Amino acid sequence: VLVFVSVVLALAAVYLGFGPPVARQRLRRLEGGGVDGADWRVHLVRLATPLARLSAPQDEGGASPLRLKFLQAGIRQEDARLVYFGLKSALPLLLAGLAYLVLQASGLPDLTLLLWLCLAALVGAYLPNAVLHLATRARQRAIFEAFPDATDLMLVCMEAGLGLDAALSKVAQDIRLSCGALADELHLSLLELRAGASREQALRHLSLRTGVPEIATFALMLRQADRFGTSIGESLRVYSEELRHKRMIRAEELAAKVPTKLLFPLVLCIFPSIIMVVLGPAIIRVVRQLLPMIAGTA
């Protein structure tokens, strides 16, 4: 059954990818003469839409936390939800079918084979979650590493006489070379401000889109400074020093973990090689001298 379902899904993918040319031309005309680079995305969404209905939640409220995870990972396409749930529906079947094709000739017992098929299906079900989690962590780490420099640049701009909105615009332009993700988030906040949103709402959305605790604290600090009338420059000065100190502590923490992480490669890979190089010739010489003596005494 798994092999049959896998073959049917593969044929459906081939049909949708190389389907009737009239349908593809009509779709391109509806898109305004879409380029070939976006054509594969259209076919992927068309393929994932019926599969996504098998695992996607019916209500939109259940999809809002997932939408937030997509935003934190830098994925803003509207069709990302369909592709995500389509992969969660198709990968368990595909991996289980592939595992069956690989293991059927190995002569394993039926119970062991079923266990491996269940394990492959479980890996396929949670693989999109793991990929999304890793992408989110990588993006959040990049934003955290570049955020102290952004606050220093913002402090310099405000001390030069710029307002907060102009300072954010300048930082978004200059920080793009080192961290495009942070520049995009700041640019989106500026667009919200220009669209009429309040500064408090834009900063709250910035902290939600990034998911970085330091940016949430930064947004809270600016909201409090704006509400109580305190100096934003002094608050930025103190907070930028705290961010640099926190970044240094995190770098020291990662450096302290290096000897522990190197322990297993040293024990498993390097130490046996050193022992063979150092003691190998001595062992060979001892064996060559002792074996004739033992044979002569015997």
pLDDT at 273 over 60: yes
Tokens of residue 258, six digits: 């290096």
Q: Mean pLDDT across the stretch 181-194?
A: 89
Residue % of the chain over a pLDDT of 90: 3
Tokens of residue 69, six digits: 């995870």
CA gap 266, 138 in Å, rounded: 27
Q: Mean pLDDT across the stretch 52-59?
A: 54
Quick one: pLDDT band at residue 63, thresholds 50, 70, 90? very low
The pLDDT score that the predictor gives to residue 100 is 84
31 compared with 88, residue with greater pLDDT? 88
The pLDDT score that the predictor gives to residue 62 is 44
pLDDT at 56 over 60: no
225 compared with 6, residue with greater pLDDT? 225
pLDDT at 116 over 70: yes
Pick from 162, 185, 144: which is nearest to 233 by CA?
162
Quick one: pLDDT band at residue 49, thresholds 50, 70, 90? low
Count CA atoms closer than 13 A to 54's CA, side-chain side.
15
The pLDDT score that the predictor gives to residue 5 is 63
CA gap 199, 147 in Å, rounded: 19
pLDDT at 89 over 50: yes
36 compared with 216, residue with greater pLDDT? 216
